[in-house]
Amino acid sequence: MTPFERADRAKQLLADSVLQGAFRDMRDKLVLQLEVVPLSDIETQHEIALMLQLLKRLQNQLVIYTQEIAVDKHKIKQENFVARMRQKLT
């Protein structure tokens, strides 16, 4: 999969209402679990907190994929501009 394909797919996933709903549902369930876990159960609290962080990181990674391609497109556009200007000067 090329970076452009990956970015496009990530953009589609971020726009997918089913996937976004799944992210919200998972987060809500984890928060509910965290609210009912006994204060003395530090290990379970830690595991739930890690799962929440991983869920957020997954969402952020999809955003990063879409942003990387925007930067790459701008870089290519800039390189093409510089090449055209050099041709005009020679």
pLDDT in tens, 68-84: 877 667 777 777 877 78
pLDDT in tens, 26-82: 999 999 999 999 999 999 999 999 999 999 999 999 999 998 877 667 777 777 877
What is the radius of gyration, based on Cα positions, of the chain?
Answer: 21
Mapped to the 3 state alphabet, what secondary structure does the chain carry?
CCHHHHHHHHHHHHHCHHHHHHHHHHHHHHHHHHHHCCCCCHHHHHHHHHHHHHHHHHHHHHHHHHHHHHHHHHHHHHHHHHHHHHHHHC
Q: What is the pTM assigned to this prediction?
A: 0.72
